[in-house]
Structure 1
Amino acid sequence: MTGKSIRKCIITALAVMSLAVSLTGCSGGSADSDTIKIGGNFELTGNSASYGASAKNGMEMAVKEINDQGGLLGKKIEIVTADNRSEATEAANAMQKLLDSDVKFIIGPDTSSGSLACVNTADKEKIPMITPYGTNPDITVDPSSKQVHPYVFRTAFIDTFQGKVMADFAVTNLKAKTAAIYVDNSSDYAKGLRKFFVDEFGAKGGQVVSEEAYLQKDTDFKAALTKIKAANPDIIFVPGYYQEVGMIVKQARELGITQPIVGGDGWDSAKLIEIAGADNLNNCYFGNHYSADDTSDEVKTFVANYQKAYNVKPDAPAALAYDSVMILAKAIKDANSLDADKVKDALAKISNLKAVTGTITYDENHDPVKSAVILTFKEGKQSFVTKIQP
C-alpha cells in the first residue's frame, strides 16, 4: 500500500470514529449513555404560567427522589425543559425543540389546547408523552377516527367525568335548578367541560337560563355578567383558567352577584386568590384532582417534602406532574427497557398504582380511572368539601 493510500485509510477511519462519538453523544439515554433524558413541555410564561411553574417543580422533585434512590435501570434522569408560553402553536414548537434535544419521553403540556397540538407528533415520532393536567377527551382518543393515540397518556381525569361531577354537585349539594354558563370560548378545555356539565345538568332536570362567552386575555366581563345577573340563576358555571376566572369572580361580586360560582380544575392556582380577592371567593366551588389537606400517607409525605423544597403548598399541577414522572418510572421499571414501544405498552398496563392524586388504573383509552374532589374557599384558602369516586 502506498503512503498516499495509508493516509487515506487513516483519514477515513478517523471520520468513522468521529461519527460514532457524535451519535453516542446524542443518545438521549441509550444503552451506552449513563442518563435518561426526559422532556418537560410546560407553560413557563404566558396566561397559564402558574401551571407550568408548579408542574416543573413537581417534575424536578420526583426526578430528584428517583435519582437519589439510584435512578432507573442504573441511569440517572436528566430533565430538559421547554417553554410553550401557554400557546398551542408554541407547545408544538416546544415539542420539536425537545425532540431535537433527543429526549426519550415527554411530560406535558399541562393545558388541553397545548396537549392537543402535540399528540400527532408523539405518535409520529413514537415518543411516549404524558400530559399531567390536560383533561380534554380528544387528547388520548382521536375524535375523527375514534382511535386511541398509542403513545399518549394522561394523569388527570377527563372532562367527561369532571363535568358530570360538577353538575351532580350543583344539583345535589347546592340544590340548583337553574344555571348560567360563562365559558372561555378560546379554550378546548373550557368548551369541552361546558358541554359535559350542561349535558349532565339537563339530564338531572336542571335548566340553563343564560349563556355568555369570553376569550382568554379579556379583562372586562361586566357587560356579560350584568346579563347573567338579570337571568337570576341558582348558580353560575365558569369553566376556564384562573387568570380570567379570578377577574370574573371579582367583577361578579362587585356587581352584587351573590350566587355560588362553580368551576373546574383550571381554577387551581394561588394566583386565583390574588386576582379574585379572598372574600369574593366565598361561596365558590371547583372540582380538582386532589386536596393538599388529604390525610393519606402519599399526600402527607408529598406535601411535606414539597413545602420543604419550595416553601408553598403544592397545587394540582405540581401533584399531577410529580405523579406523571412516577407513572413513567413505574413503566420503565416494568418494561426493564427504554425502548419506546415497550414503555408505552407498560404504561397501558398500569393498574392500582397508589399516587398522590389517587390510585391510578389506565383504561383502554389511556385515561386514568380515579376519584375527584370538590374544594371551596375559607378566608382565602382552599378547603375540602367532598371526594367523588369514579
Structure 2
Amino acid sequence: MLIFKLASASLLVCGLMLTAACGGNSQSNPTGGNAAKTSGDPIKVGAIVELTGGAALSGKFKQQGIELAVEQINKEGGIMGRPVQAVFEDDQTSNPGAVSAYQKLISQNVVAVIGSIRSTETQALDPYIRNAKIPMLFGGTDDKLTQAGNEWLLRFRPPDRFAAETLVDYTANDLQKKRIAIIYSSETFGENGKNLVAAELKKRGLEPAAVIPYTQGNKNWTPILDNIKRSDADAVLTYMNVSEDSALLLKQYRQMGLQQTYVGAPASVSNVTLNLAKEAAEGIYGVGDYVPNQNEANKKFTAAFQAKFGQIPDGFAGWVYDAMMALKKAIDQEKSTAPDKIRQGILSIKGWEGTEGVYDFDPNGDGLHGYTVVKIENGTQKIIKMVNFKK
C-alpha cells in the first residue's frame, strides 16, 4: 500500500502518476491537517476511484474531493477525536475493476466505502455489499438501486426519475421542442435513463424522434449523428455518464453542423466535459445536481477546493465531499463506527445543506430530491431554474 499525505494539487497529480507507473491500486491519506489534536487508531474510509481508464479525469476530481474533506475533518479534531484515513482503490472505470477494488477495501478494516458514480458498477457490487454489510455511500443514479432491498446502499445524488422529468419538462415545455431524439449509453445508467425519458415524453403525448444507443468509449459519432440529421428532430437529449464521451460527442456534433437544441444529463455539463469540449459546449443545456456556488455550503466548498487545487470543482468532487461530511456527522451523532449505527445516523440526516443541496434521507437511502437546469455560457454553468420534488 502506498501511504502519503497530499499537500497540493501538484502532489496529487504526482501521486496518481506514481500509482499508474508502479501498478499500485491502493493509496491512503492518514491526516491531511494538524490544526486540532487527534489521537488513537485512524478511522479508515474506503474509496473506489477511477484512477485509470476512460473516466480517470473525473476520478481525479473525486479523489480531490475526498482529500479535501479528510483534511478539513482532521483539522477540526477528526471523528470522535480520532484521525480519519482515506484508502483509495482504482476501479479502472470498469465493473470488474470496481469489484476488485471493493474486495481489497473491505479487507482493510474500513468502516464505510465511498462507491461509484456509475450505476452499472454499483449494480455489479450489490451482492458483495449485501454480504459485507458495510455502508456504501454511492453516487449512481439508477432508481432501482435503492429499491431492491439492499439496506447498505446510501445515495448522495438524486435518482434518475427526477433528472428525466426535469430534462423532458424543460425541453418540451420551456424550450417548446416536440420532436426530441434520445442518445443514451447502452448500460444500466443509460438504459434506465432512456426508459424514463421515453415515459416522460409519453406522458406529454410525445414520441421520440429517434432512439439511439452507443457504447461507452465510442470515438466515432458520425453514424449516430447522421441518424439524427436524417430524423426530423428539433432537439437532442443525451443520457450519458462519462464526461469524456460527452465532450467528444459535442465536438463532432459541432463539426457536423447539427443545429438541433442540445440538452443533456449531468455529465454533459460537468467540468471535465466543459474543459475538453471548450467552445463546442457553448449554448447547450443540461441538468445538474451540482452547480458551483448554488448554495452557501457549495460556496465554501468551491472556495476551499479552488484554494487547494487551483481549479473549480464539479459534482464528481462535490458528492463525495458531502458523503465524507455526512459520515462524520453520523458517527459523531451515534458515537459509534458500527455499520448499523453509521447507517442509522445517515438515514436520520434531515434538512442538512451540503454542496449538492439539502439532504433529507428517506427510508430507501435516497438523500437528494431535485435537479438544477443550467445553460453553458462563456464556458460556465448559468443556473436557469431549480426543481425540487417531494418525496
TM-score where L is the length of structure 2:
0.86
In the alignment, structure 1 residue 34 sits paired with structure 2 residue 69: no
Q: Distance in 2 between matches of 1:322 and 1:191?
A: 28
Aligned to 2:146: 140
1:237 aligns to what SS in structure 2?
A: strand
Structure-2 change in CA distance of 1:299 and 1:271 (3 Å):
closer
Structure 1 counterpart of 2:172? 171
Deviation at residue 35 of structure 1 after TM alignment: 1.1
Is residue 377 of structure 2 the alignment partner of residue 373 of structure 1?
Answer: no
Q: What is the CA-CA distance between 1:40 and the residue it aligns to? A: 0.7
Assess if the C-alpha contact under 8 Å between 2:159 and 2:369 holds in 1. Answer: no
| Residues in 1 aligned to 2:283 and 2:220: alpha-carbon distance in whole angstroms | 22
Q: Is residue 2:247 matched to residue 1:246?
A: yes
Does the 8 Å contact 1:72/1:332 carry over to 2?
A: yes
- Partners of 2:283 and 2:234 lie apart in 1 by 12
SS of alignment partner, residue 181 of structure 1:
strand
Structure 2 gap ranges (5+) = 1-29, 31-38
- Kindly indicate whether the alpha-carbon contact (under 8 Å) linking 2:142 and 2:188 is maintained by their aligned counterparts in 1: yes
Identity of aligned residues (%): 25
Residue 44 of structure 1 contacts residue 52 of structure 1 at CA under 8 Å; is this kept in 2?
A: yes
Asked whether 1:104 is paired with 2:111, we answer yes
C-alpha separation between the residues in 2 aligned to 1:193 and 1:125?
29
**Contact 2:326 2:346 (8 Å CA) reproduced:** yes
1:127-148 CA-to-partner distances (Å, cap 9, x unmatched) read 11101x2111232222xxxx2x
AA in 2 matched with 1:113: T
> Hey, what's the Cα distance between the residues in 1 that align with 2:350 and 2:269?
27
Offset of 1:330 from its aligned partner?
A: 1.2
Alignment of 1:318-357 (within 5 A): 318-357=317-356
Matches of 2:317 and 2:78, distance apart in 1: 21
What one-letter code is carried by the residue in structure 2 that aligns with 1:168?
Answer: D
Task: Within 5 Å, give how 1:1-390 maps onto structure 2.
Answer: 33-131=40-138, 133-142=139-148, 147=149, 149-185=150-186, 187-240=187-240, 241-278=242-279, 280-294=280-294, 296-390=295-389
C-alpha distance in 2, partners of 1:178/1:207? Answer: 7
Q: Secondary structure at the match of 2:71?
A: helix
| Cα-to-partner distance string for 1:250-303 (whole Å, 9 max, x where unaligned) | 22222221111111112243332344331x223311111121132x32121111
- When structure 1 is superposed on structure 2, of 267-276 and 339-348 the one drifting more is 267-276
Q: Matched residues in 1 for 2:144 and 2:101: separation?
A: 20
Amino acid at match of 1:135: T
The separation in 2 between residues aligned to 1:155 and 1:247, in whole angstroms, is 27
The alpha carbon displacement at 1:380 in A equals 2.3
CA distance in 1, matches of 2:141, 2:75: 31
The whole-number CA distance in structure 2 between the counterparts of 1:211 and 1:370 is 27
Q: Distance in 2 between matches of 1:67 and 1:275?
A: 34
Tell me, yes or no, if the aligned pair for 1:249 and 1:261 is still in contact at 8 Å.
no
Counterparts of 1:58 and 1:247, CA distance in 2: 25
* 8 Å Cα contact 1:171-1:206 kept in structure 2: no
Q: Quick one: distance in 2 between partners of 1:112 and 1:122?
A: 14
Identify the range of structure 1 (301-310 vs 269-278) with the bigger mean alpha-carbon deviation.
269-278
1:74 Cα shift? Answer: 1.7
Letter in 2 for 1:238: T
Deviation for aligned residue 1:370? 3.0
Determine if contact 2:350/2:361 at 8 Å carries over to the other structure: yes
Q: Any unmatched runs of 5+ in structure 1?
A: 1-27
Letter in 2 for 1:368: G
SS of the residue corresponding to residue 277 of structure 1 reads helix
Check whether the contact 2:182–2:238 (CA below 8 A) recurs between aligned residues.
yes
> Is residue 105–residue 127 contact of structure 1 (8 Å, CA) maintained in 2?
yes
CA contact (8 A) 1:268 1:315 kept: no
Farther-moved stretch of structure 1 (173-182 vs 111-120): 111-120
CA offsets, 1:26-52, max 9 Å, x none?
Answer: xx9xxx952100011111211112222
The answer (yes or no) to whether the contact 1:245–1:272 under 8 Å persists in 2 is yes
Secondary structure, counterpart of 1:332 in structure 2: helix
Taking the aligned partners of 1:370 and 1:250, their CA distance within structure 2 comes to 32
Match of 2:26 in 1: none
- Cα contact 2:374–2:384 (8 A) shared by 1: yes
Deviations 1:144-194 (A, max 9, x none): xxx2x1111110000011111111111121111111111111x21111111
Alignment match, 2:22:
none
- Looking at structure 2, the residues matched to 204 and 104 of structure 1 have their Cα atoms a distance apart, in angstroms, of 46
1:10 corresponds to = none
Tell me how far apart the structure 1 counterparts of residues 51 and 262 of structure 2 sit (CA, whole Å): 28
Query: What SS class does the counterpart of residue 40 from structure 1 fall into?
Result: strand
RMSD over aligned Cα, in angstroms?
1.7
Specify the code of the residue in structure 2 equivalent to 1:325: M
**Matched residue type, 2:136:** M
Equivalent in the alignment of 2:8: none
- Aligned equivalents of 2:327, 2:333: Cα separation in 1: 10
Cα distance change of structure 1 residues 180 and 244 upon mapping to structure 2, 3 Å threshold:
same
- Structure 2 SS opposite 1:208: coil
